[in-house]
């Protein structure tokens, strides 16, 4: 059975997120972009109304929403500002490995606190020499009695400087490549943990991206997720679940650019008529609208599959690649429709174009998504 109507509860959620994006996020978005300011007050407010705890099961104090509801929220937040949305929803990625592979006790200890009170957690996979090649991690974790000694440097970590807890992927056996990776929960308070350089990014500048350093950090064995060697699969399964959210955010960014372009095309008069009267503009707007709808359908389908407990690796990558590439196209075309004004910081679309670029890069580049899709078609 196929239905495209949302339930009244889903509509109410969408409405809450939309109002938050319009009334709280948009008013500060351009100032945060200009100054690279991390708007912690917005994150705290969003926590208070439940926007940060949707993915946490009710048994742990969260709202227990499905992936589909998560995508509905993410589209609205992305429509508000994708930089703010990236930081606001990063706990879902960081705590995902614990929800996927943690014991009941680990979930109580390391996830429930993020439902009980405001806090940030970061997903620490990427390293200077291991971006797309996630299996090439150099951070090590050496067993020493009832703990591990963790050493290494993670980079491009969302909320890295503000997080109180990190989910870290490290090698417990370098000779085994990706099969030697293991996942750990590392509280920020442990001696040897520190946040490093904050990046000065092209877009999504409200979101903090920084290094996180681990210098001989003694991590209890009780903080290990799964067994030694499970880390790579835990990371991949987490990314499968997280990528539809990025796709939804991309749909939100594209929708924002599209709305600005439609409004401007109707208002801007050249050659004695609104530029919206030109067929060249018709075609651009029609392509934008059509592609946004296609991206939304791919996104919601991948989320729905995840909610059914089905294998959705290929569909998550379809959604992530299609929606982020589409956001780049739509924001670029919106700048084109605005012409010279579109290139100026006084108008909203150049920010959307800069923000969109990151959607094609983080949580697996558009090229990596195509590699995953091809592997799913040819090998698995
Ligand atoms: N679920 C479960 N297992 C999976 C899996 C999945 N989705 N994908 C792969 N695996 C398993 C495979 O079955 C295989 O298992 P065996 O060893 O038992 O055979 C193993 O993992 C290795 O798989 P591959 O051979 O496919 O691995 P690979 O080395 O060729 O690389 C890759 C796969 C898809 C390219 C992967 O490295 C990848 O996703 N890279 C991108 C990393 C990424 O997205 N980084 C983003 C960081 S997070 C971020 O950006 C957020 C932020 O805060 C900024």
Active-site choice (76, 127, 350, 363): 363
Binding site membership of 135 for ligand 1 (Cβ less than 6 Å): yes
Q: b or e along 30-53 (b: 16 or more beta carbons within 10 Å of the residue's beta carbon)?
A: eebbeeeebbeebbebbbeebbbb
Q: What is the mean pLDDT of residues 174-203?
A: 97
C-beta of 352 in contact with ligand 1 (< 6 A)? no
Ligand 1 contact via 178 beta carbon (within 6 Å) = yes
| 225 touches 109 (CB < 8 A) | no
Q: Please compute the mean of the pLDDT values over residues 247-255 and round it to a whole number.
A: 98
Average pLDDT on 199-219 reads 98
- How do residues 268-280 score in pLDDT, each as one tens digit? 999 999 999 999 9
- Using 50, 70 and 90 to split pLDDT, how confident is the model at 138? very high
Q: Of 135, 171, 369, 377, which is best to mutate to test ligand 1, by the most ligand atoms within 8 angstroms of its C-beta?
A: 135
Task: Using the predicted structure, report yes or no on whether residue 161 has a pLDDT greater than 80.
Answer: yes
Residue appearing with tokens 């993020």: 114
pLDDT at position 220 over 90: yes
pLDDT mean over 141-150: 98
Ligand 1 near 375 CB (within 6 A): yes
Which atom number of ligand 1 is nearest to the Cα of residue 156?
A: 54
Q: What predicted TM-score, i.e. pTM, was given to this entire model?
A: 0.97
Q: Is pLDDT of 1 > 90?
A: no
What tens digit of pLDDT does each residue of 337-356 get? Answer: 999 999 999 999 999 999 99
Task: Read off the tokens for 344.
Answer: 């100026």
Give yes or no: 199 in active site. no
The preferred substitution site among 232, 245, 250, 370 for testing ligand 1, maximizing ligand atoms within 8 Å of CB, is 232
| E-only strand ranges, the chain | 121-124, 140-144, 147-158, 165-171, 181-187, 193-198, 209-220, 224-225, 269-270, 273-274
Greatest C-alpha distance within the chain: 80
pLDDT over 80 at 380, yes or no: no
Say what the pLDDT of residue 282 is.
Answer: 98
Alpha carbon distance 346, 337 (integer Å): 15
Average pLDDT over residues 355-359: 98
What pLDDT score does 319 carry? 98
CA 233–ligand 1 middle distance (angstroms): 7
**How high is the pLDDT of residue 222?**
98
pLDDT band for position 332 (cuts 50, 70, 90): very high
Strands 165-171 and 224-225: unpaired
- pLDDT of amino acid 2: 83
């Amino acid at each position: 059975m196929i239905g495209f109507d949302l339930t009244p509860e889903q509509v109410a959620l969408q409405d809450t997120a939309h109002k938050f994006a319009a009334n709280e996020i948009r008013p500060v978005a351009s100032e945060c972009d200009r100054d690279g300011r991390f708007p912690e007050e917005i994150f705290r407010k969003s926590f208070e109304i439940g926007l940060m705890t949707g993915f946490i099961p009710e048994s742990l104090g969260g709202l227990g929403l499905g992936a589909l509801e998560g995508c509905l929220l993410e589209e609205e937040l992305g429509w508000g500002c994708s930089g703010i949305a990236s930081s606001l929803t990063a706990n879902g990625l960081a705590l995902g490995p614990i929800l996927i592979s943690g014991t009941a006790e680990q979930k109580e200890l390391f996830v429930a606190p993020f439902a009980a009170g405001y806090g940030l957690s970061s997903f620490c996979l990427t390293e200077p020499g291991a971006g797309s090649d996630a299996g090439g991690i150099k951070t090590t974790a050496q067993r020493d009695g009832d703990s591990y000694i963790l050493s290494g440097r993670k980079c491009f970590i969302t909320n890295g400087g503000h997080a109180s807890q990190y989910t870290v992927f490290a090698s417990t056996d370098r000779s085994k490549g990706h099969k030697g990776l293991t996942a750990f929960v590392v509280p920020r308070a442990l001696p040897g943990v520190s946040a490093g350089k904050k990046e000065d990014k092209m877009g999504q500048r409200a979101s903090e991206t920084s290094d996180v350093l681990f210098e001989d950090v003694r991590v209890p064995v009780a903080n290990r997720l799964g067994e030694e060697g499970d880390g790579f699969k835990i990371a991949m399964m987490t990314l499968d679940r997280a990528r539809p959210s990025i796709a939804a955010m991309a749909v939100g960014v594209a929708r924002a650019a599209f709305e600005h372009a439609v409004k401007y095309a109707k208002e801007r008069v050249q050659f004695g008529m609104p530029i919206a009267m030109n067929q060249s503009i018709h075609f651009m707007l029609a392509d934008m609208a059509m592609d946004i709808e296609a991206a939304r359908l791919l996104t919601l389908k991948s989320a729905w599959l995840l909610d059914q407990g089905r294998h959705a690796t290929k569909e998550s990558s379809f959604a992530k690649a299609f929606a982020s590439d589409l956001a780049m196209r739509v924001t670029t075309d919106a700048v084109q429709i605005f012409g010279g004004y579109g290139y100026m910081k006084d108008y909203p679309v150049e920010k959307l174009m800069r923000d969109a670029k990151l959607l094609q890069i983080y949580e697996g580049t558009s090229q990596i998504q195509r590699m995953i899709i091809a592997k799913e078609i040819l090998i698995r």
